[in-house]
Chains A and B, each alone.
Chain A
Amino acid sequence: MALLEVNQLTKQFGKHSKALSDVNFSVQEGEFVTIIGPSGAGKSTLLRCINRMIDATGGEIRFQDKSVLNLKKKELKQVRTKIGMIFQHYNLVNRLSVIENTLHGKLGTKSTMAGVLGLYSQEEKQQAVRILNVLGLKEMIYKRADQLSGGQKQRVGIARALIQNPRMLLCDEPIASLDPNSAKVIMDHLKKISTTMGITVIVNLHQVDVAIKYSDRIIGINSGQVVYNGPAENMTPEDIQRIYGSEADELIFDIGGIHAG
């Protein structure tokens, strides 16, 4: 059974601009799915509709076989604790330490008072340290977030998502602000999270080559519509042409190299 099902999803901003129209796809447990498409295609909008940071206009989203779109506030919070989110600009609290930022991932499961006072149990703290260890941030636990490099910040972002014990990660262009080396480290971590921990990972990306290299499946979006949905290996230059329209020429050149290699 699919972990996430998206049926006939539409999202309209204002009267005329349709950001998403009739989007259908489903994602299996533990799958690594990448969403690609030109700027303004609706990738971020789609991702944000899934955990209802944006409310969809129509259609249905089912997560763990539960309809997400008409949940009450409390139930929605519960669903959100099961979905981690990672951002291009990391979105950490700069003045707080790495471990404090990591523990923020636990707020959703705490009482208001415990969250307000920042009271975390010994187990939660141990889990945070364990996760930070795995992500190679052992030495940085007490460093302030604004003293980290971009790649380190993004790893803290991942740690904050992982401590939620999520079933799924939503990543909105996690490597768009990083240099190639840090980008590779982040993508490797995400891949490992999906294969070894069985967590479903959905990533928005701009780089087609990275998408092909890491994904089990690629979903291509153009003007709010799914125009490709299939395994990464099967993608042809024609598919890329369909996803990116006129921008595609350069990209196809890149792909040739990747398939050859």
Chain B
Amino acid sequence: MEVKGQLNNVSAPAEHLLEERIKIKPANKAAIVIGLTLTVLSLLTVYAFYSFDYKEFDMTEALIATFANLKVIFLEPHLEHFSFGHALYQVLVTLGLAFLTTLFGAVVAVFFGLLAAENLSSKRVSMIIKGMVAFIRAVPTVLWVLIFAVAAGLGSTAAVIGMTFHSIGYLIKAYSESFEELDRGVIEALQASGANWWQIVFQAVIPSSITYMISWTFLRFEINFAVAVAMGAAAGAGGIGYDMFMASSFYLDMREIGAITYFILAVAIILELFAIRIKNKLKAA
């Protein structure tokens, strides 16, 4: 008798649920805000296209001209003002810039990443570093280069400092997050046996996160290569980017731009293949 009473009690709320529609995603504030934002943005986009000033602008003509240019760039590439050897050397310069800034960034970021990881540091220190990192990352790399150019003058020095600065911020975040993946219990176990902080870092934390650290670092290297190309043009940091800048705005040679683009593309593909190989190796290890 008693059991039956209890059973009724259990099934009562379920029946009550069946009567009304069951929502899997209850409407909350976040969902409403996202929905509203998307609607407003789409309306603005439509309005913008509608209100553009199309005076004396023929869409078809513009498209045809653009494709003609693209055809010249990509189907008739040649090198005129630079030799192949020179271009290769300049690509190496650009790669060197990317490598240097990634290396500097990685070394500094390991140290601050440890201090930023909540399981290895105090909550206070971790919060302060993470706050600064958020700020550094919020400003684009190019802007950091221009900021440092105020002191160092536009050129390779400003590019190295600015790119390193943003790399540090990026890698601190990546590293500290992979450090935090390590179970607190492992750290406790070593603490309980009398190990000190540095020993725990090098014997447990870094061995556990080394694969993540390597793939994040390589990803940053790829980003830095792309930025280094842009910096060659925008900040006069040298390298293949500067040649591209010269070809496009000084010699006005579209065919040369095409050739240089292919160069950069080839390097990017080689880097990507390299990254895939490293990742597979790490997965297997």
Contact = CB atoms under 8 A, between A and B. Distances in A.
Interface of A: 51, 53, 77-78, 80-81, 83-85, 87, 89, 91-96, 104-105, 107-110, 112, 115-118, 157, 160-161, 164
Given A91-B185, A91-B186, A115 B192 contact: no
Contacts, number: 83
Contacts of A108: 193-195
B207 interface: yes
Given A85-B189, A107-B199, A110-B199, A91 B183 contact: yes
Interface string B180-192: 0001011011111
B108 interface: no
Contacts of B203: 93, 104, 107, 115-116, 118
B127 interface: no
A80 B199 CA distance: 15
Question: 4 smallest A-B Cβ distances: which pairs?
Answer: A108-B194, A115-B199, A107-B195, A91-B189
A246 to B, nearest CB: 18
Nearest to A117: B202
Given A107-B196, A116-B199, 15 more contacts: A53-B191, A53-B192, A78-B194, A80-B193, A87-B185, A87-B189, A92-B189, A93-B207, A94-B208, A104-B193, A108-B194, A109-B194, A115-B198, A115-B199, A160-B189
B204 interface: yes
Interface string B114-133: 00000000000000000000
Interface of B: 183, 185-186, 188-196, 198-204, 207-208, 210
Nearest to B188: A53
A118 B201 CA distance: 12
A236 to B, nearest CB: 31
Nearest to A73: B196
Contact of A91 (B188, B194, B198, B199): B188
A112 B204 CA distance: 14
B193 A95 contact: no
Contacts of A164: 193-194
Given A91-B185, A116-B199, A116-B202, A84 B207 contact: no
Contacts of A93: 186, 203-204, 207-208
Contacts of B200: 107
Question: Which of A96, A104, A117 has the largest count of B CB atoms less than 10 A from its CB?
Answer: A104
B190 to A, nearest CB: 6
B214 to A, nearest CB: 13
A95 B283 CA distance: 12
B195 A115 contact: yes
26 contacts: A51-B192, A53-B191, A77-B194, A77-B196, A80-B191, A83-B192, A85-B193, A87-B189, A89-B183, A91-B186, A93-B208, A104-B189, A105-B193, A107-B190, A107-B193, A107-B196, A107-B199, A107-B203, A108-B194, A112-B199, A115-B198, A116-B198, A116-B199, A116-B202, A118-B203, A160-B189
